[in-house]
């Protein structure tokens, strides 16, 4: 049995990732603004001013179900979704120079 062969699903995933990165080019910003602190610094503060960020996500990703499963598997009473989203978006924007 060959372990280095990719199945049809893996080939689809690789092609989808390649296509996504070859799509419309993103504008690259001048860099992370100097007045924006690192996400970890902000999230470690005792009191944090927050703002709402409303977003809908593709149902096919089943993010709600996966988040619940993660919380159950890790015996978490509360999963700080806002903090997770903050870190992910901050990292995404920073890598693009914003």
Express each pLDDT in 8-49 by its tens digit: 555 555 455 544 556 678 888 988 899 999 999 999 999 999
Q: DSSP letter at 61?
A: G
Express each pLDDT in 48-78 by its tens digit: 999 999 899 999 999 999 999 999 999 998 8
pLDDT of residue 9: 53
DSSP string for residues in 2-21: -SSPPPHHHHHHHHHHHHHH
pLDDT of residue 8: 54
Cα 96 vs. chain centroid, distance in angstroms? 14
pLDDT of residue 74: 93
pLDDT of residue 26: 82
């Amino acid at each position: 049995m060959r372990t280095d062969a990719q199945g049809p699903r893996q080939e689809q995933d690789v092609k989808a990732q390649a296509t996504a990165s070859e799509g419309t080019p993103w504008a690259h910003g001048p860099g992370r603004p100097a007045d924006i602190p690192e996400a970890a610094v902000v999230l470690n503060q005792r009191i944090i001013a927050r703002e709402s960020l409303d977003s809908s996500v593709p149902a096919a990703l089943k993010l709600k179900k996966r988040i619940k499963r993660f919380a159950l598997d890790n015996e978490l009473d509360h999963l700080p979704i806002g903090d997770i989203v903050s870190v992910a978006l901050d990292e995404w924007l920073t890598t693009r120079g914003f």
